[in-house]
Structure 1
């Protein structure tokens, strides 16, 4: 069920990787190389995806290549939210993809794209349809962010929260389904392309929405899902039981699993965006998860 493993999330965004602790991303590149090699050792057929960049930045890709950070990567990924956070129009999507294709020969996936309903739900309706027109068929994988609105009481996974100003509150309106479980108008538009445009949905530790998400995705006809397994969560009580339940529930979908979030006690900065003091520990966690949920398939011997 796992078709790809993504190494980290938005590593060129300070909400997910601390540039003060790793200003040239050399530590990140080292961690990616170790992790990619560890995943390959467990399952050499699994696609390895570099954590989706946000903002879309060809110079960052070139820097990663200069550090050797693409040597154990099969796909690079981008994230874009042109009607909410980015300073470019939604119609520029093909140009943004081309900017990355110009600096790497690796395939480009769009592993998060979304339009929120913060200002008006009609904007999201337009956003789903226009995004599909621009990206479906243009890149191998597109994941819409997200299925569910983030409940206000949970808080967004970002270091800066209210310091982001009004943009922080857009985090809570990116779903196709409201936090109370009622669908937004854009859900019907997504349903028309669900077989070609996947969904990106984070599931929090012991997330009560998991079973409802599976029901909705099957009803919609969604085939591809991107989600995450948190390294930090792996230190919670009964973490493996939760990971097992989550991955078992998602067994009917083609899953891109994202590994990210540094445990506070293992990072220099003691927060989830910190480079780990020992990057091999992150690589080992990812290898453990792949061995558990996506081990290599043994090929039957061919006899004459």
Structure 2
């Protein structure tokens, strides 16, 4: 069941939203305002989440408040990877949450992506998972570990400069609890002990062959909460709705936070998934249509009875 909808992924990260095309953040704020309203009109019970910020930045959040975007979301989300990408230590997690809670005392703060990769060693990931659980379980109302699977090298990571980023790029391929060949890493057993309290964040690519195995793994682990995505760009592919239907049907037994993001090339100011759209209402309409298809208000009400 869809319990929440996230409006974009890491919007203040230049790999996911081009700040040169939106230097004052007015376009993203407009996107949030339109989309938040559109989702609420379809199903007011679906929580609207401000796209997980990365880096964690209370000043950026203040700008969202100035532009009125926070009036159209119910939750603020953060992402953090202190052992791989961030310039702060893992032990600073409570301080990072406190910064955002002080900036938005009227909204819950979710950690919608947190992780530690095995790029350097499996032992680093194992430590990262255990320490993250100690720091965040009971501290944040929702936590999503990134991720279940390693990203296969041949698929490529969604970043702006790819291999030019050096080890920062290659770390993307080692964030899973299960290797690309299907073999578990040591941290998987440690995750199983907290899976009922720490959800998973797992992207599924278009016609992802891992979907059924992922569902089986998550049920075996006892996962209850899952964050995933539906791509606006993918919605223009042939057979998109068939794939979306299959994905969401497979995930029906979990409490799902669905992330809407990625600009279709033909609808962007520039032909890139990070570009702002010519017409932000088109994105809002896509999100509303997906909520109507997979979390209509009448179905949610019937499930609650």
Whole-angstrom distance in 2 between the partners of 1:36 and 1:163: 36
Measured after TM superposition, the shift of residue 164 of structure 1 is 1.2
Alignment of 1:48-197 (within 5 A): 48-104=48-104, 105-197=106-198
Alignment of 1:240-255 (within 5 A): 240-255=241-256
* Alpha-carbon distance in structure 2 between the residues aligned to 1:118 and 1:76: 29
1:221 match? 222
Q: Secondary structure at the match of 1:37?
A: helix
Task: Give CA-to-partner distance per residue, 1:55-92, whole Å, 9 cap, x none.
Answer: 00000000011011111100000000000000100000
1:238-277 superposed Cα distances (whole Å, 9 cap, x missing partner):
0000000000000000000000000000000110000000
Separation in 1, partners of 2:195, 2:85: 24
Q: Deviations over 1:199-233 (max 9, x none)?
A: 00000000000000000000000000000000000
Q: How far 1:159 sits from its partner (Å)? A: 1.7
Q: How many positions carry a matched residue from both structures?
A: 300
Q: 1:175-209 CA deviation, whole Å, 9 max, x = no partner? A: 00000000000000000000000000000000000
Where does the alignment leave 5 or more consecutive residues of structure 2 unmatched?
Answer: none
CA distance, structure 1, for counterparts of residue 252 and residue 273 of structure 2: 28
TM-score, normalisation: structure 2: 0.97
Find the aligned partners of 1:279 and 1:160 in 2 and give their Cα distance: 26
CA RMSD of aligned residues (A): 0.8
User: Larger helix proportion, structure 1 or 2?
Assistant: 2
Q: Deviations over 1:86-121 (max 9, x none)?
A: 010000000000000111121100000000000000
3-state SS of 1:132 partner: helix
**CA distance in structure 2 between the aligned counterparts of 1:253 and 1:127, rounded to whole angstroms:** 25
Distance (whole Å) between structure 1 residues aligned to residue 34 and residue 138 of structure 2: 32
Runs (5+) with no aligned partner, structure 1: none
